Amino acid sequence: ASPKYRFLRQQGLQPARQLPSALIIGVKKGGTRALLEFIRIHPDVRAAGSEVHFFDKHYSKGFEWYRHHMPLTLEGQITIEKSPSYFITKEAPRRVQHMNPSTKLLVVVRDPVTRSISDYTQAASKKAEMKPFEQLAFVNGSTRNTIDTSWGPIKLGIYARYLIRWLKYFPLSQFLFVSGERLIVDPAIELKRVQDFLGLKRVVTEKHFYFNSTKGFPCLFKSEGRSSPHCLGKTKGRNHPFINPTVLQRLRDFYRPFNSRFYQITGINFGWS
């Protein structure tokens, strides 16, 4: 960069695109959109609007391609991107490390049983004639059989397995695990943790949120680019189908050891039963 450019940028007058210094890597249906929308209210945060899928689908296009998909930032602003598929992509940890070994990694996690139903509900909304959850969750569609761990909605909830892959490339201190449950019940608390983790001033607080009883979720009084109150879109906070309680219990029993392992690795008990 020329001296003039550097001077302008340091004065906060020259916007530029930067590779992200923090990523929301997962988990799918954990509440990743909510987290991104909430953190980007912060004036020192700029985020790519849509999922770029660089580290899973577009890696061969190179870092310059990725950088061009980032928003303009001024000196002192950080760039964030979220693509929840990164968490489960085998090559992603090595690729992210290659971009920048000090990348901060945010993971929104949610009770894997609820997450699986959320994932199923999303898939069913895109496809006519989806088999019932209770069938898809078991090998050969029968509750007499074992749980079908090859089915995406079930497999993705084994968080410990994916985290172990990431820990070969990044120390635990570079991760922040956000509780998807608390993000709904008390978004301000989780946002405080996120801002501290990112080294940001605590600007996003309880003042920014209100509970919208029609939506059944916390919404924002104002947000990036909008000054009026608004909630996340229709695809966030869907109604879940009723699931046979025996099936739910089977799933809880299935996930218990994996959850314990995840608590053990992260040092956090997320309280999923």
Residues that bind ligand A3P (CB under 6 A): 28-34, 84, 118, 121, 183-184, 217-218, 232, 236-238
Distance CA 21, CA 66 (A): 13
Question: What radius of gyration, in Å, describes the C-alpha atoms of the chain?
Answer: 20
**Shortest distance in whole angstroms from residue 28 CB to ligand A3P:** 6
Select 79 or 181, whichever has its Cβ closest to ligand A3P: 181
DSSP state of 31: S
Distance CA 168, CA 111 (A): 24
**Two tokens, residue 56:** 């899973």
**Shortest distance in whole angstroms from residue 133 CB to ligand A3P:** 13
Select 118 or 259, whichever has its Cβ closest to ligand A3P: 118
Cβ of 247: how many Cβ atoms within 10 Å?
A: 18
Distance CA 194, CA 200 (A): 8
Select 176 or 232, whichever has its Cβ closest to ligand A3P: 232
**Shortest distance in whole angstroms from residue 192 CB to ligand A3P:** 16
Distance CA 99, CA 121 (A): 35
Select 28 or 40, whichever has its Cβ closest to ligand A3P: 28
Is the preceding peptide bond at 45 cis, omega within 30 degrees of 0? Answer: no
Select 29 or 104, whichever has its Cβ closest to ligand A3P: 29
Residue-by-residue DSSP string for 83-147: -GGGGG-TTHHHHHHHH-TT-EEEEEE--HHHHHHHHHHHHHHHSSSPPPHHHHTBGGG-TTS-B
Select 30 or 71, whichever has its Cβ closest to ligand A3P: 30
